[in-house]
Amino acid sequence: MVISVKDLSVALPEGADRPHAMTGITFDVAAGEVLCIVGESGSGKSVTANTIMNLLPPGLTPVSGTIEMGGRDLLKLSDAEKRQMRGSEVAMIFQEPMTALNPLMRIKDQIAEVFEAHGAFSKEEREAKALKLVEEVGLPDPPKILRAYPFQLSGGQRQRVMIAMALALEPKLLIADEPTTALDVTTQAQILKLVRNLQDRHGMAVLFITHDIGVVAEIADRVIVMRQGEIVEQGATADVIGAPQTDYTRRLINAVPSLIPPAPRDLSADKVTVSVTGLEKTFVTSGGFFTPKREVRAIDKVSFDLKRGETLGIVGESGSGKSTTGRCIARLMEPNAGEIRLGELDWGALASRELRAQRNRVQMVFQDPYASLNPRSKIATILTEGAVAQGQDKQEALAYARELLETVGLDASSLDRYPHEFSGGQRQRIGIARALMMRPEILIADEAVSALDVSVQAQVLDLFQKLREMFNLSIIFITHDLCVAAQVCDRILVMHQGGVVEAGSTAEVFAAPSHDYTRSLLAAVPGWKDDSPLRRTRATG
């Protein structure tokens, strides 16, 4: 065993919602093994990782247990010994590659610093070593990368640099705390592959923290499921995912949307409600009087039709233009060219006064449940102010608001409360109710479930399905998550660098993608290889 954790408990500061961040944690990791700790937010998985690394934020203290590594208890080391241990025996990579590197230091200095801190090698050797590391993690043009500053690298490249630094002193244990969560799906696939390859070559133990069951299925040998600070279940990945022993694990795995789309619905008889042709949007950064203009083509000739009662998925990675498309259709942004029609109405050409009067026809649900409700308004105001501005009677609006709150699964008494009194999932339901208050024909959901834990996400996705049927809504569902798209969308639009690369019914696109980019996107979704336990479990139902 490289590391053995026994009966570890970490106390939360007084006044927290529970006494322990995690308690009674016991596990070990062997050389050459990837152990995943999976759990929803608040499960204590990150605290476990940070305790091993001795990087707990102030206020959190280990109260019992041992962490044994190489015959020593890591919790009992002196400060100097802890420092010596970090970076040389245990290394760690983090979630946010964009902020994890010092913006003012060249990459080579940041890598060389690991050697300096542990007094390894001479100055020249350090530079040569850094070059080799950068090569090993597959960064293009290593000499140039070494001279670069972090701001000149992409997120994926920065995460590779982080991995290079972590590998520098050949640690026995690598801790990866959600290392791919902030990355696009294709970049994520590359990083996961890199971690696996490096492990094969160096034989270290890897402790991988994630919230994503797909990632677990992709990379883990063994898995620990955590919930509210305790271990719910642990075992070999194929066993835990294939035949979960506890209710919680079963629910968690069933909540993961499947990459296999359900049978298609027949919508051929329905009328077209939105028709978009040749939509274009270019961002011009006007730097003022002295800086030159820079142009970025955000979306380029996007066209599609959407029928009554249909859900269209717009999928793509960051920078693909999917959100911009949504915002142009909602007329939160003005496109440079192209036509948007709602039935007979030339929606894209409405002047501002008319537009405001008809705003109710297109509504949006946003991504961030914490930023999408005005923190200073009561739910009653948030829900009714739009309807009242459209000329509806206040009492009528309130009555409808009560009705809608119950439809979305909340209590009507919520009206008198403020947004901060609700959880993320509840706020998202309020955001949906606000959109419905306007009695829209078209609902645009912009990454509406991306910020939610997987079990809450499943509930909100069900809600969308139910509402589509109740109100016969046309939904434009913008998402980066192909599994989510597979489950809720009738048709799919795949966007890449501002253009539509593929469009078609969800079943067709997922079964037989015609464009290379779509294929690489689908292949990158973690956990759905042909022999993966997740696919096997799901295929059998």
Residues in contact with another protein by the rule CB under 8 A = 53, 55, 83-88, 91-92, 94, 96, 99-105, 113-114, 117-118, 149, 151, 162, 165, 286-291, 330, 332, 356-360, 362-364, 366-368, 371-376, 382, 385-387, 389-390, 431, 434-435, 438
Element (H, E) at 38: strand 34-38
Q: Name which of 136 and 502 has its Cβ closer to another protein.
A: 136
Least distance CB 381 / another protein (angstroms): 9
Rounded CA-CA distance 131/3 in Å is 30
Nearest distance from residue 107's CB to another protein, in Å?
A: 12
Q: Which two tokens stand for residue 119?
A: 């007094």
Beta-strand runs (E) in 162-247: 173-177, 205-210, 222-227, 230-236
Residue with Cβ nearer another protein (177 or 502): 177
In the complex with another protein, which residue's Cβ is closer, 298 or 503?
A: 298
For 159, other C-beta atoms within 10 Å of its C-beta total 31
Q: Are 35 and 206 in contact (CB under 8 A)?
A: yes
For residue 536, count CB atoms less than 10 angstroms from its CB and return exposed for 0-12, middle for 13-18, buried for 19 or more.
Answer: middle
The helices-and-strands tally (H runs, E runs) of the chain is 20, 20
| Neighbour-count burial for 349-384, b at 16+ CB within 10 Å, e otherwise | ebeeeeeeeebbbbbbbbbbbeebbeeeeebbebbb
Cα separation, 230 vs 39, whole angstroms? 10
In angstroms, the Cα distances linking 412 to 305, 406, 432 are 37, 6, 15
Residue 373 beta carbon to another protein: minimum distance, rounded to whole angstroms: 5
Residue 80 Cβ, how far from another protein at the closest point, in Å?
Answer: 9
Give CA 107 to chain center in angstroms.
Answer: 27
What CA–CA distance (Å, rounded) separates 356 from 438?
12
Shorter beta-carbon distance to another protein: residue 167 or 525: 167
- Shortest separation between residue 371's beta carbon and another protein, angstroms: 5
The residue (of 113 and 339) whose beta carbon lies closer to another protein is 113
Backbone angles phi, psi at 284, to 5 degrees: -110, 120
| Beta-strand relationship, 337-342 and 345-346 | antiparallel
What's the alpha-carbon Rg for the chain, to the nearest Å?
26
User: Which lies closer to another protein via its Cβ, residue 180 or residue 537?
Assistant: 180
103 vs 541, which CB is nearer to another protein?
103
Nearest alpha carbon to residue 361 among 338, 378, 380, 386: 386
**C-beta closer to another protein: residue 94 or 517:** 94
Minimum distance from residue 331 beta carbon to another protein (Å): 8
In the complex, least distance from residue 399 CB atom to another protein, rounded to whole angstroms: 18
* Minimum distance of another protein from residue 228's CB (angstroms): 25
* Residues sharing a CB contact under 8 Å with residue 98, sequence separation 6 or more, in sequence order: 155, 158, 182
Comparison of 171 and 261: residue with beta carbon closer to another protein: 171
3-state helix/strand/coil string of 246-293: CHHHHHHHHHCCCCCCCCCCCCCCCCEEEEEEEEEEEEEECCCCCCCC
Smallest gap from residue 383 Cβ to another protein (A) = 10
Q: Which is nearer to another protein, 324 or 360 (CB)?
A: 360
Instruction: Report the residue number, 299 or 373, with the smaller CB distance to another protein.
Output: 373
**What gap in Å lies between CA 428 and CA 305, rounded to an integer?**
27
The SS3 call for residue 406 is helix
